[in-house]
Structure 1
Amino acid sequence: MRIFWTVFWTFLLSQMLVYVVSSMTGGTYNFMQGVFLCAVFSIIVIFLGEAGVPNEPQEHH
């Protein structure tokens, strides 16, 4: 479920980023550019999230 929400939010945010930047530069909106950014950002975020999770539970004394 965690990966689903990561991809969902990176999709929305990358589409927003492509739309805003293309509007500011006077270019045209390109949906596939947002999909590519979503894939790249999702892989990076998932990798960083999995690397930060400890494998063994810590014992509290």
Structure 2
Amino acid sequence: MKFVWGFIWTFILVHMLTYVAGSMLSAQYDFKTASILGIGAFILILVVSTILPPPAAAEEH
């Protein structure tokens, strides 16, 4: 379930970023390009999360 929500949030945030950046550059919004970037960003996040080691448990005093 965390992968589904991760994909949804990544997809939405990349679309928002593409829209805002395009507006700042006076470029036209393209759904196809934003979708490809969103999928690529999600795959990159998955790869990085599998490469990084899990965080160490904090010592309790």
TM-score higher than 0.5: yes
Sequence identity percentage: 31
1:46 aligns with 2:46: yes
Equivalent in the alignment of 2:24: 24
User: What residue ranges of structure 1 are gaps of 5+ in the alignment?
Assistant: 55-61
Q: TM-score under structure 1 normalisation?
A: 0.77
Deviation at residue 15 of structure 1 after TM alignment:
0.3
User: What residue ranges of structure 2 are gaps of 5+ in the alignment?
Assistant: 55-61
| 1:1-59 C-alpha deviation (Å, 9 max, x unpaired) | 111111101101110011001100111110111101111100010111223355xxxxx
Tell me, in whole angstroms, the C-alpha distance in 1 between the residues paired with 2:52 and 2:3: 15
- CA RMSD in angstroms, aligned pairs only: 1.3
Equivalent in the alignment of 2:35: 35
Q: TM-score under structure 2 normalisation?
A: 0.77
Q: Deviation above 4 Å: which 4+ runs of structure 1?
A: none
For these two proteins, the number of residue pairs brought into alignment is 54
